[in-house]
Amino acid sequence: MAIVSVNVDQVASIRALRTGKLPDPVQAAMLAELAGADGIVCHLREDRRAIRDRDVYLLKETVKTRLNLLIPPIDELYQRAIEVKPFLVTLMPFDSEDGVVTSGCDIAENRELYEEFARSLKEAGVAVGYFVDPDADAIKAAARAKADVVDLNATSYVGADTIESAEAELERLEQMAQLVSKLGMAVSCGNGLNYKNIRPLAELDVIDEFSIGHAVISRGLMVGLDRAVREIVDLVYSAEHVQ
């Protein structure tokens, strides 16, 4: 059965619209766990545009499930990761100017850098993941870099503008998830998943973990975070048990 992790970055993004401490992504993480989330995800960027260092330290202290810290391979952020020692560090592409992540890591282009980060994290006892596009070469590169988890980028599937293209991207994700498993790594998937497009993926029963943030936080604004998290967890569970 796949687990569902909630990304609390959007809560921090709302906080950044005003000076102050609210809304608090740490409190949101606690509520998400109480509602059934199996893990918490946060992305610490070089410019701290949303999640801040203090958030990460507090999340480490308060998260009772699994904390997945997303960072690009930058020395300063690596030091934070080593100090915090979350359950998992997922290595991301370098930050873009607009802060929107649409592509996975180019491990081949930055092989030595990514592999050095991964090796150091694993030596510190931290599991390592890579956020990659659903591409065989990228997945094999992650395997060579000793990844524990491959986080498949769902952007092309999410952005498909026809039924045919969505089905093609779904098939590609399925094939790449099977390759990840064959190479001995766990499979995660995220980046744009919502209450509608997550179900076909869950029905494939090839994903170990779904990471979903914007959709859950957005729905939480309307119906409350507790209900929003329970709905997405129930949706994934029910999809996997379709007869």
What pLDDT digit, counting tens, does each position of 141-173 carry?
Answer: 999 888 999 999 999 999 999 999 999 999 999
β-strand partners of 69 = 42, 89
Non-local (6+) Cβ contacts of 132 within 8 A are: 104, 105, 107, 138, 139, 141, 142, 150, 151, 152, 153
Domain limits of the chain? 3-240
Q: Quickly name the fold that domain 3-240 has.
A: TIM Barrel (3.20.20)
Q: Which pLDDT tens digits describe the chain residue by residue (243 residues)? A: 799 999 999 999 999 998 889 999 999 999 999 999 999 999 999 989 899 999 999 999 999 999 999 999 899 999 999 999 999 999 998 877 666 787 888 888 888 888 888 889 999 999 999 999 999 999 999 998 889 999 999 999 999 999 999 999 999 999 999 999 999 999 999 999 999 999 999 999 999 999 999 999 999 999 999 999 999 999 998 886 654
Name the DSSP class of 1: -
pLDDT in tens, 42-78: 999 998 989 999 999 999 999 999 999 999 989 999 9
Distance of CA 222 to CAs 161, 213, 225, 234, Å?
Answer: 27, 15, 9, 18
pTM: 0.93
3-class state of residue 45 by DSSP? coil
